[in-house]
Structure 1
């Protein structure tokens, strides 16, 4: 079968690889109808996360049709249309029982090496093996597109998790640092949750324009504090969502938040440490939190928002390609020439 594989730092290629097989009774095989390229994939192929080996299939966003199930799978049968979380969880442990699926001891993250669990071949392929299928997969209801389904599996779940973790109150003002896919979906999520105003802080004018066209305000990093001051009488925003990853963006959040405000980071971080502004955080009673999108927990709520038309995540998709164009799409994403690319194996 065809798949997108990691070749070395910064390089991917289309390759013919052996198709996966069922390896356990709780596995399913899914024929991929659509796969996404995520900002996290860019971190993976540049070598920021350990354990990715040349030849490994990458990607963690997909939707498709069940083509085989193990003997212990009870929720799905061959022919079912399904979406997937970007990681697996057992569904039975204490963490899963309280909705903390990311903390499951049996977690594996599709296509990211060994950074977040044992290696698991990725989703940018014609067929994907899905462990713990009854938990990891969810049905795609009639009226939900494959594009919406793959975004719900990671990017939308991440944007919504940031808003949920921030305990946003109606009318509060939010700054989102980073105007990529997750940042834009965090902006849309904050709007759906009742934010009074959202400022997307982003150096790219094209991405700032996208934020403005989709209900937000925008500012370059250099202009952000001045706009915040105008909206808040100089106090700072109630919530900052950091959606870039890395020390620079996270440090910038502390310059935008009000006293007793909240900072939530959903950018993918690989560095082991970061110079935390401890004295300022103590004096201003700041709250810093981190969140990872858990579509297993959030699927029912987000599907309701999508199906009622309250939130349309597919507005971020601006590149639809087949396998042959995937290496170029990775380069375009890295250069910010496109925002969100999806791969159709049938093209």
Structure 2
């Protein structure tokens, strides 16, 4: 389907009505026209379940109540609060974006979607959400939920993994916006698209019988709405085994500490603090040979990322000469490492699986 062809004219009207009657309304980032909160929620919700974001959003706001507070924070502070949300490039872009808004825009986000896309980490859909919710700009979001709703409703059979097709789909989305909407209607329409995709028009087993668009949904009329959106390019996942060299020591005051090093600025867990990562068991044991204790192999476990499936093999060892260990590691790693008290890990940006592992070790220390 081409933009403007076959889409019933009352799609927007029905969606707005449905959202106000049946859409979600109790989420903490709703009922606000504050660009900072809308932006923060949109970034957190990228490829992350609402239930997870509900835990992080209030904690983040409590620490960084506005864009100036976020801009003035250290990268370690931001990463420590983001730890567990994954996709850590989002946190780095979030921090950089806040600094630019504070320094170049006086702490005020640009009002238009076009201007917003010039900021780090703000793509077209996030920019549209901020502009629509906060300023009533008639511009369509096009995240995963919205693509699913629109491609099913119109039986849009273009391959959405192709850039040219995505442009056509965006034009279709724009053609279906409400005509001359008020700011309130634009916000309800935008929220309605999100809500419909999240609650009824789900990836599998959509609740078509309860959908307000079922009478005109071409995907449903065709017998199988789940065939949309069409996406032929499949995600290729790599499987890797990583060995975690977990070194524990007691420092002068008797507390138990773990040796952590900052990960490189690019790649998996970029910028986070982590135990040294080795490619195989031999390399891990060679690194740990300077420690006095006997290496203990813990049960390996899996950790899934977008493009990779990691098999993590923790090897834990006790070090009775922490100063000597620090000197040896300083000669072998580009990023400075340090001993961190096991009871202070909440203040450090750690990969989620390592945080869970160390929490267990802290409980047994």
Task: Calculate the TM-score normalised by the size of structure 2.
Answer: 0.21
Structure that is richer in helix per residue: 2
Task: Calculate the TM-score normalised by the size of structure 1.
Answer: 0.21
Larger Rg over CA atoms: 2
